[in-house]
Amino acid sequence: MGGSLGLALKQRQLCRQVVGLVRRNEAAREAEAVGVADFATTDPAQALPDADLIVFSTPVRTIVQQLGEWASLYKSGAVITDMGSTKQAIAQAMSALPPGVHPVGSHPMCGKEQAGLEAAEAALYQGAPWIVTPLERTPPGATRLIFDLAEAVGAKPRLLAADRHDKLVAAISHLPHALATALVLAAQQVAEDDPAVWEVAASGFRDTSRVAASDVTMMLDILLTNRAAVGQMVALAQSQLAHLATVLAAGDEAALRKLLEQASRQRKALYNK
């Protein structure tokens, strides 16, 4: 996510300099070589003090840790934002930042299963929703800057409260990952008795299980920092599956058709426009 943003900013010449803060010296050289940063370093004291806008794109719990750990390095007036997939824990950490900086939570609703600089793509944000979650302390100018950033790289910014964001993404992002994980594990159980299940798996299984291949560390952070909302969505899905199982067991064709048609209409309304 961070690499893709760097690419987009540089290719569109949207800022004076893009500085990358990475974990390894090799990654710093790679970031410069592939063009995601003008300069990259492993040293926060080199990257942060002169930055007008700081964007955290690490896993959520790492963002929470780094926000406070590096607080003394942010210059007065700097805007601090993030790309984390859950917002309430990050908003809480941002609220403790020094009064001279301006925190604004944000979350681009896009991404890839692959992680790392080699997966960076300048067009990643094109047409994607970009949720902006300002704090009570956030000045309007800082919120406007993140809206401008999102629009400049082709995204569509939208304002949401952090708790509302976490509830909504639990339904449309985190629950799908949980269901994809359950799907793969269920098929894995079938494979213990009959490994041929993998030989007959085709596009339906591939498409519905895709997000189960996401970066595990990233998904651990997402699920654990939004576990209440995700738990509610898993319970809701279990209720729907139980209803579907009841209809199937009864051989109730009319009820089964109604469920399938309801889901089909909603899916087509979203993606077959």
Which of 114, 140, 160 is the C-terminal boundary of a domain? 160
CB 184 within 8 Å of CB 219: no
Which of 108, 133, 160 is the C-terminal boundary of a domain? 160
Residue 113's identity, in one-letter code, is: E
- Per cent of the chain over pLDDT 70 is 96
CATH of residue 107: 3.40.50.720
176-204, pLDDT tens digit by residue? 999 999 999 999 999 999 999 999 999 99
What is the rounded average pLDDT for all residues in the chain?
A: 94
Is 138 found in the same domain as 202? no
Is 141 found in the same domain as 43? yes
Is 177 found in the same domain as 129? no
Distance CA 181, CA 210 (A): 9
- pLDDT for 110 equals 87
User: Which whole number is the average pLDDT over 140-162?
Assistant: 97
Residue 111 in 3-state DSSP?
Answer: coil
| pLDDT score of 113 more than 60 | no
Length of the chain: 273
The number of domains in the chain is: 2
- pLDDT for 35 equals 87
CATH of residue 190: 1.10.3660.10
33-50, pLDDT tens digit by residue? 888 999 999 999 999 999
Domain that holds residue 258: 165-271
Distance CA 31, CA 36 (A): 5
